[in-house]
Amino acid sequence: MSRRFLQLALCVLFLSSSHLRSLTLLYHSTGNFVISRATPTMFLRMGNRGFGVYLFFATMQVLSIPFIVLLLPETKGIPLEAMDRLWAQKNTWRAQKVVMAEVSCLF
């Protein structure tokens, strides 16, 4: 590949995704703002040593395990071109096997 082709490809990639990048920036900035405003209040109200804040975040992590295990499909070994097919599958338990079977037939 020539250097000019790579420059053109990168230019098209960044120009076409500017709307997506702006939404991502908005999401992250809002999340950072909420966390920065809530954390001092959490330390004041949940104990002066911070154990309550630790327990709050530890509980959130434990509660996220069923969501991750039950609702998110495995992406190991799936090429980027097949990710749309993976997320289109209704049964997340078998989604990775179904898409891997489709991909292996194509290559």
Return per-residue pLDDT of the chain as tens, 107 residues.
555 655 555 555 565 566 667 777 888 889 899 989 988 888 888 877 778 888 888 999 999 999 888 888 888 888 888 888 888 888 888 888 888 888 887 66
pLDDT of residue 10: 55
Please give the pLDDT value at position 14: 60
**How far is it, in rounded angstroms, from Cα 71 to Cα 74?**
10
Whole-number pLDDT of residue 16:
55
- Confidence at residue 11, expressed as pLDDT on a 0 to 100 scale: 57
**What pLDDT score was predicted for residue 82?**
86
Q: What pLDDT shows up at residue 26?
A: 83
Contact 39, 53 (CB under 8 A): yes
